[in-house]
Amino acid sequence: MYVQNDNTATRSLKCSWMDEPVSFTEDGTARCPRDVGERLVDEFDSIHVHPTKRESSSTE
């Protein structure tokens, strides 16, 4: 899934529950597994489901 971080200064995020870090582009976009993305959205106020980028149903 795609998420967007409103804090565009954050380039990478690694939490203890993650297998590997999530890297964000200059505009704050990151692609990550759905379970990771959903948890990031739940735990961080600055991270949201990306408003325009969507995974195709065959890759989720």
Question: pLDDT at position 2, please?
Answer: 97
37-40: Cβ within 8 A, 24+ apart: 37/1, 37/2, 37/3, 38/1, 40/3, 40/13
12 domain-assigned: yes
Q: How many structural domains does the chain have?
A: 1
Judged on CB neighbours under 10 Å (0-12, 13-18, 19+), 18 is: middle
54 domain-assigned: no
60 domain-assigned: no
14 domain-assigned: yes
Q: Give per-residue pLDDT as tens, 13-53.
A: 999 999 999 999 999 999 999 999 999 999 999 999 998 88
**Band of pLDDT at residue 10, cut at 50, 70 and 90:** very high
Alpha carbon 36 to chain centroid, angstroms: 7
For residue 59, pLDDT beyond 80: no
37 domain-assigned: yes
44 domain-assigned: yes
Question: pLDDT at position 60, please?
Answer: 46
The domain of 11 spans 2-49
10 domain-assigned: yes
56 domain-assigned: no
